[in-house]
C-alpha cells in the first residue's frame, strides 16, 4: 500500500477516534468478541476493499477478515462485501472509517461504470480528471479504473497540458513551438497536450511539432465531428466540458478518441453500505 494511503488511513482514524472510542470503552466488555459483515443496501461496483480491511487491522491486529469479492466486481442489494471477526470494541471503533472509504470509493467506481456503459457501442476511452478530493487522488483514480475507466495524468508532474490560462501568457505559435521543443529536449518521454476551444485554434495547433494530444474544450457535437475530420487521425483527441450521462453517447459518436468527465470523482454519490454485528 502506498505510504500516502497509509498516512491517509492514520489521519482518518485519528480524526474519528481521537483519545479513544468512549462508547465502546464503557458499554462493550473488553473480552467481547463478535462476527460482523458489511452488506450492500443498493447495487454498485466495489472499490476500496483493501483500504477498508487495513482500517480494521490498524485498529486491532487481531481482527480477521474474509472477502470473496474483488475491486471492480458488481454487487447487488444484500450481497456481503466483507466478513469480519474479532474484538467487538475493535470492530465498532473501525466501523465508520472503514465504511467511509468503502462507500466513497465504491461510489466513484459505480458512477464510472455507468458512464462506461453509456458510451457503448463506441470504443472511446473514458478519462478522469484532477478534480479529486485532496489527499484521495490515488484512491479515487484507482476507483475509476475499478469502474472501467482510464486514468488521465496523475498530477502536474507527469504530463504537459497547455490550457487556456497558459495560452494567455504564451499566445504566439512560435513561442509555443519553442516551449514544446524545450520540453522534448529536457523530457523526451513526456506527453504534450494542448487545449483548444475553436476549430481555428485546432488547425493552427496541427502545424506544431511535438504535440501528442489535443483537448477539445466545451465544443458542440457538430464542432467535435468537424474537429475529427480536420485532425484526420494525426493527434489523439479528447473531448471535455460539461459532459453528462445524457450527452456522452452523442459525444462518443463524433469519433473522438477519449472523453474526460470530472463528475466521476467530484460528484459521485457514496454507495449505501452497512456494517451488521451478528
Same domain, 69 and 206: no
Find the CATH number of the domain harbouring 181. 3.20.20.70
Reply yes or no on whether 96 is catalytic: yes
- In angstroms, rounded to a whole number, what is the distance separating the alpha carbons of residues 262 and 242? 9
- In angstroms, rounded to a whole number, what is the distance separating the alpha carbons of residues 99 and 41? 13
Find the CATH number of the domain harbouring 57. 3.90.1170.20
Same domain, 228 and 257: yes
Same domain, 139 and 39: no
Identified catalytic residue from 131, 145, 184, 191: 131
What's the number of domains the chain is made of? 2
Reply yes or no on whether 217 is catalytic: yes
Q: Render each residue's pLDDT in the chain as its tens digit; 278 residues.
A: 899 999 999 999 999 999 999 999 999 999 999 999 999 999 999 999 999 999 999 999 999 999 999 999 999 999 999 999 999 999 999 999 999 999 999 999 999 999 999 999 999 999 999 999 999 999 999 999 999 999 999 999 999 999 999 998 888 999 999 999 999 999 999 999 999 999 999 999 999 999 999 999 999 999 999 999 999 999 999 999 999 999 999 999 999 999 999 999 999 999 999 999 99
Identified catalytic residue from 95, 217, 238, 257: 217
Identified catalytic residue from 33, 35, 57, 96: 96
**Three-class SS of residue 75?**
strand
Q: What is the DSSP letter of 143?
A: H
Q: CB of 267 within 8 A of CB of 244?
A: no
Same domain, 145 and 257: yes
Instruction: Please give the residue range of the domain that contains residue 87.
Output: 3-116+269-277
Same domain, 138 and 207: yes
Q: CB of 149 within 8 A of CB of 126?
A: yes
Same domain, 32 and 50: yes
Same domain, 235 and 273: no
Same domain, 78 and 138: no
The secondary structure of the chain in percent helix, strand, coil, rounded to multiples of 5, reads: 45, 20, 40
Same domain, 23 and 65: yes
Identified catalytic residue from 70, 163, 187, 269: 163
CB atoms within 10 A of CB 272: 16
Amino acid at each position: 500500500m502506498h505510504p500516502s494511503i497509509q498516512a491517509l488511513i492514520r489521519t482518518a482514524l485519528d480524526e474519528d477516534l481521537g483519545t479513544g472510542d468512549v462508547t465502546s470503552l464503557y458499554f462493550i466488555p473488553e473480552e467481547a468478541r463478535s462476527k460482523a459483515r458489511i452488506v450492500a443496501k443498493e447495487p454498485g461496483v466495489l472499490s476500496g476493499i483493501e483500504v477498508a480491511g487495513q482500517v480494521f487491522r490498524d485498529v486491532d491486529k487481531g481482527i480477521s477478515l474474509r472477502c470473496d469479492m474483488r475491486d471492480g466486481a458488481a454487487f447487488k442489494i444484500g450481497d456481503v462485501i466483507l466478513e469480519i471477526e474479532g474484538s467487538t470494541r475493535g470492530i465498532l471503533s473501525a466501523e465508520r472509517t472503514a465504511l467511509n472509504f468503502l462507500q466513497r470509493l465504491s461510489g466513484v467506481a459505480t458512477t464510472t461504470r455507468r458512464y462506461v456503459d453509456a458510451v457503448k457501442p463506441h470504443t472511446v476511452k473514458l478519462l478522469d480528471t484532477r478534480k479529486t478530493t485532496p489527499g484521495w487522488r490515488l484512491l479515487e483514480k484507482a476507483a475509476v479504473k475499478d469502474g472501467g475507466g482510464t486514468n488521465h495524468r496523475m498530477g502536474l508532474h507527469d504530463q504537459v497540458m497547455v490550457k487556456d490560462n497558459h495560452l494567455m501568457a504564451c499566445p504566439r505559435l512560435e513561442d509555443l513551438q519553442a516551449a514544446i521543443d524545450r520540453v522534448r529536449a529536457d523530457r523526451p518521454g513526456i506527453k504534450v497536450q494542448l487545449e483548444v476551444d475553436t476549430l481555428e485554434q485546432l488547425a493552427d495547433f496541427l502545424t506544431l511539432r511535438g504535440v501528442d494530444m489535443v483537448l477539445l474544450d466545451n465544443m458542440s457535437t457538430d464542432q467535435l465531428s468537424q474537429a475529427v475530420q480536420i485532425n484526420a487521425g494525426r493527434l489523439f483527441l479528447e473531448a471535455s466540458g460539461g459532459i453528462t450521462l445524457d450527452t456522452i453517447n452523442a459525444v462518443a459518436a463524433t469519433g473522438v478518441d477519449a472523453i474526460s468527465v470530472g463528475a466521476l470523482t467530484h460528484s459521485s454519490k457514496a454507495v449505501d453500505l452497512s456494517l451488521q454485528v451478528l
